[in-house]
Structure 1
Amino acid sequence: MSVTERKYLVKTVEGEELGPADQDQLKKWVETGRITPVCQVRCTLLKRWEKARDITFLKELFDARQPPKKDLPVGPFGHVLQRITLRAARVEMRSGLQRNKPVEYEAAPVMLRLLAGVSDLLIMLFLAIVIYLAMAGLYVGGTVDSTSAFYLGLAIFYPCFLLYYTGTISSRSQTPGHKLWGLMVVHKKGDELFLFRCFWFTLFMLMFGITTPFVMFVLPSGGALQDVFSGVRVVKTKIVGEAR
C-alpha cells in the first residue's frame, strides 16, 4: 500500500482558481482571508465540489473566527434538533474532503474486484440484449441482413461499453459495480484522473481483464495489468492508516 497526500482545488467567489494545494496551505489561505466560507473546494481525487464551510478541517477555522454564540434555552423540540445536528455532523465526518493527511488506501482484494466486474458486466449484458432485440427487429423487418445487423449491433455496443467505463470512472472515480462493492479507481500518484487515462484503463481491461486474478496473485503490488499499464490503482473507498 502506498501513502498518498491529498490535494485540493479551490474556486473563489471572484472566479479565481487555486491549487492543487494540501490541507496546511488551505488553512493558511483561510487565516489570510483568501478562502471564504462560500468558496468551492474539492479533492483532486473526486469530482464533487463543496463549500469551504462544509469541510471539517476548514469549518473549525471558520468557527474560530466567529464571535462565540450565546446558549439559548432548549425548547420543546430542542432535544430532537440536537440529535438531528449530531447526525449531520457524523455524516460530514465521512465526507471525502475532510482531513487532508497522508492516507493509505487498501488495495482492492481480487474477490471484490471480480464481484464488481460481474456487476458491471450484468449492466452491459442488459444493454447487449436491448441492442440485440433492436437489430433483430431490423432484420425481421427486412431493413438489414443478418451480417449487417451483427456488425451494426457491434458498432453500437462497443462505443457504449467504452463510454460506460470511461465516463463513470472519469466523472465519479468508480463504476456502478465499484460503488456497489465499495471500490474506487485512483491515480497511482494521487493526481486527478483525466478522461484519457480512464480510456486507456478501459482498453487495457478489455485486453487483460481475464488475467486479473492470476496477475494480482503474482505481482508484489497486488494490482492487475490494466492498473500497471494505465498508472492507476483500484482500492477500497474506506481510508486506512489516516492520522487521527
Structure 2
Amino acid sequence: MANERSYIVKLESGEEFGPVEQEVLVRYAETGRINYQTKVRSVLVPRWEKAVNLPFLKAILQSQLEQALLSEKLSLWGRIMRRATLKVDATASTGSLVQVKAENFERAKLLPRILAALFDLLLLFAGSLLLTTFCYVLLKMQILTSYNAAYVLLLLCFAWLLGYYILLITLQVQTPGQKFWGIFLVRLSGEKFYYGRVFCYTLLLLLFGVFTPFHILISPSGRSWQEILTGTKMVKTKLADNRKIR
C-alpha cells in the first residue's frame, strides 16, 4: 500500500525523479524545490497533475498561485491568438490565465464593487467625450450632417461601452476599475470566459446595473441579477483561505 503514497516528480526542465513519499513532497514544496506548476503523478497512475492540484500540497502552493494570477503579460494579439487556438486547458480557469476554481475565492464586498463601477464609469465617460468631440469635428467638416450626427454618436458610444467590458473581461480578466479595487469576475463552473457570455453580462449590466447594490443585499448568494443569469460571480483577487470559502 506504500505505493499509493509514492509519487514521480517532473520539473519544468523535464527532469524526472522519484518515487518520493508525500512527506518528502511537502518538504520540497516548503523549501521551494517544487512549485505550483511542477508535474506530479502517482506511481500507480500514469497521469501527470500540477502539484497545486494535490490536496496535501494545495495549502502550501496556493500562495504561489495567487502571485501568478494576473501576472502573465501578453500582447493583445497574443491573447486573441490564444483564444482562437484554445490553448487554455478546458478545466477551471479565469479568463485566459491561471487555473483556479470559483470556490477558491471570497465573494467581493459591496463597497469595492461600487467603487470599481464608478471608476469604470469615469473612464467610459471620458471615452464618450472623446467620441463626442470626434463627431463634432466631422460635423464641422460636413462629413456628418445634423440629421445623422446624433445617431452616429449614439452608435459609437454604445460600441465603446460594449467593447470596454467585453474585450477587457474576456482578454484581460478585469476592467481597470475592478483591477484597481482588487475584484474580478469568474464563472461558477470555473470554465473559460467567451465573448458571448460577457456580451450577455454586459447587456444585463446595462439593464440592472443601477440595482446591483439592492440585488446583492437581498440575494441569498450575494450576487447581482446579471451574475445569477450568466452563471458568474464577482470575487476578490486574493485567494481565500480554505476555512473561509463559502
Q: Does the C-alpha gap of structure 1 residues 122 and 54 become closer, same or farther in structure 2, counting only changes over 3 Å? A: farther
**Is the CA contact 2:66–2:238 (under 8 Å) kept in the aligned structure 1?**
no
Structure 2 equivalent of residue 240 of structure 1:
240
Identity %: 28
Q: Does the C-alpha gap of structure 1 residues 100 and 210 become closer, same or farther in structure 2, counting only changes over 3 Å? A: closer
- Find out whether 1:94 has 2:73 as its counterpart: no
Between the aligned partners of 1:118 and 1:203, the Cα distance in structure 2 is 18
Q: Does the C-alpha gap of structure 1 residues 171 and 147 become closer, same or farther in structure 2, counting only changes over 3 Å? A: same
- Find out whether 1:57 has 2:36 as its counterpart: yes
**Is the CA contact 1:101–1:242 (under 8 Å) kept in the aligned structure 2?**
no
Structure 2 equivalent of residue 117 of structure 1:
117
Deviations 1:192-217 (A, max 9, x none): 21221111111110111011011111
Q: What letter matches 1:150 in structure 2? A: A
SS at match of 2:198: helix
Following TM superposition, by how much is the alpha carbon of 1:95 offset from its aligned partner in structure 2, in angstroms? Answer: 2.0
- Provide the TM-score with structure 1 as the length reference: 0.61
1:144-163 map, 5 Å:
144-163=144-163
Structure 1 equivalent of residue 221 of structure 2:
221
**Is the CA contact 1:103–1:239 (under 8 Å) kept in the aligned structure 2?**
no
Residue range with higher mean Cα deviation, 101-110 or 167-176: 101-110
Q: Does the C-alpha gap of structure 1 residues 235 and 149 become closer, same or farther in structure 2, counting only changes over 3 Å? A: same
Between the aligned partners of 1:99 and 1:165, the Cα distance in structure 2 is 22
SS at match of 2:242: coil
Following TM superposition, by how much is the alpha carbon of 1:145 offset from its aligned partner in structure 2, in angstroms? Answer: 2.6
Please give the root-mean-square deviation of Cα atoms over the aligned residues, in Å: 3.3
Q: What letter matches 1:232 in structure 2? A: T
Could you list the structure 1 runs, at least 4 aligned residues long, displaced by more than 4 angstroms after superposition.
Answer: 90-93, 97-103
Between the aligned partners of 1:146 and 1:98, the Cα distance in structure 2 is 50
Between the aligned partners of 1:101 and 1:117, the Cα distance in structure 2 is 24
Between the aligned partners of 2:214 and 2:152, the Cα distance in structure 1 is 35
Residue range with higher mean Cα deviation, 140-149 or 109-118: 140-149
Deviations 1:114-140 (A, max 9, x none): 111111111111111111011111222
Given candidates 17, 37, 61, the residue that maps to 2:12 is 37
SS at match of 2:237: strand
Between the aligned partners of 2:67 and 2:213, the Cα distance in structure 1 is 31
Between the aligned partners of 2:132 and 2:103, the Cα distance in structure 1 is 46
1:194-205 map, 5 Å:
194-205=194-205
- Find out whether 1:141 has 2:116 as its counterpart: no
Q: What letter matches 1:56 in structure 2? A: N
Structure 1 equivalent of residue 23 of structure 2:
none
Runs of 5+ consecutive residues of structure 1 not aligned to the other structure: 1-26, 40-52, 62-89
**Is the CA contact 2:115–2:181 (under 8 Å) kept in the aligned structure 1?**
yes
Following TM superposition, by how much is the alpha carbon of 1:91 offset from its aligned partner in structure 2, in angstroms? Answer: 7.2
Structure 2 equivalent of residue 183 of structure 1:
183
Runs of 5+ consecutive residues of structure 2 not aligned to the other structure: 1-5, 15-31, 41-62, 70-96
- Provide the TM-score with structure 2 as the length reference: 0.61
Structure 2 equivalent of residue 5 of structure 1:
none
Following TM superposition, by how much is the alpha carbon of 1:57 offset from its aligned partner in structure 2, in angstroms? Answer: 2.9
Following TM superposition, by how much is the alpha carbon of 1:54 offset from its aligned partner in structure 2, in angstroms? Answer: 11
Following TM superposition, by how much is the alpha carbon of 1:172 offset from its aligned partner in structure 2, in angstroms? Answer: 2.2
Between the aligned partners of 2:136 and 2:185, the Cα distance in structure 1 is 37
SS at match of 1:234: strand
Structure 1 equivalent of residue 84 of structure 2:
none
